[in-house]
Amino acid sequence: MSGTARPAGPNRVAFARARFIAGFLALPVLLYLIYVISPYAQAFHIAMTNWRGVSASPAFVGLENFRRLLGDGVFWTAVGHNGLLLLLLPVLTIAIALFFAFLLNAGGSGGGVSGVAGSRFYRVIFFFPQVLAVAIVAVLFQQVLRPDRSGMLNGPLIALGLRPVGFLSDPRLAFWSILAVLVWQAVGFYVVLFSAGMASIPREMYEAAQIDGAGRAQMFFRVTLPLLWDTVQVGWIYLGIAALDVFAIVWVMTAEHGGPDHSTTVMAAEIYRNAFQYFKFGYASAMGVVLFFFTVAFAVAALRLSRRERIEF
């Protein structure tokens, strides 16, 4: 009989399974290639041109945009700010979130291991900032930090005859004010995330630690943190990516969209500024490519450095 012979026996089953899986994956993979990989590829191409967003055939300039980046002081200032956020935002957010999550799950004053009174209500309050859009958070804190009588923080100072504090107008304070807002916005989500992870830890482990004479701090560092490490690792990576990609808070809250004097600017803000204010889309794409490699390098480094032996329970 002519024709291609079909695999027989176990090989035929394996072939059918592979065909079945390929049939399910074909459309998602195609969509991923079109809507994710294709824009990345286009960004790499545009970064090597002088495209201004209007010409149909921009001139190819090779690595010229990347050479210009090496001498762009404002861009490297933005890189430095992203680097500080990359270091401080995950550390502060995770530390605060772990503290509150531990209180909500194991910080009760009664016998046994239980959370503080009203822990369910507190979870809702902590999560509330996640309900607000980022732009709304930025506008809200822009009003809170106003340097006049209508500012929530400066109003009482002025009423007492003290000088107002330029939280967003003083170059020495503006960056730290932005960092505080970012931490405030992020903490609630990770409190809920870590609380869910802690709730899955068997109570018997805490009770055994108590019987052995462990205090709250020992229970946290010897029981909770090791068993929650995978969740902390995921949170660290998400927060690191958020620190590299921060844009809306800086753009809405600060003077000159990254000021004063570039004291709060970040890479995403410089990409937007060069693309949509200066119409240097090729140059902005080169910045985007640099940001892409920074993000990938951070994710790989974080996964390797935070890798630990998995603890089963």
Residue 305: Cβ-neighbour burial (10 angstroms; 0-12, 13-18, 19+):
exposed
For the chain, the domains span 74-305
Look up the CATH number of domain 74-305.
1.10.3720.10
CA distances from 97 to 183, 195, 233 (A): 10, 9, 13
267 and 82 in contact (C-beta within 8 Å)? yes
Contact 223, 206 (CB under 8 A): yes
| Span 66-112, pLDDT tens digits | 999 999 999 999 999 999 999 999 999 999 999 998 888 876 655 55
Question: Which DSSP helix (H) or strand (E) runs through 96?
Answer: helix 73-106
pLDDT tens per residue across all 313 residues of the chain: 455 555 555 677 777 788 888 888 888 899 999 998 898 898 899 999 998 877 777 889 889 999 999 999 999 999 999 999 999 999 999 999 999 988 888 766 555 566 677 777 888 888 888 888 899 999 999 999 998 888 888 999 898 888 999 999 999 999 999 999 999 999 999 999 998 888 888 877 777 877 777 777 788 888 888 888 888 988 998 999 899 989 999 999 998 888 889 999 999 999 999 999 999 999 999 999 999 999 889 888 887 877 666 555 5
Note the pLDDT of residue 177.
95
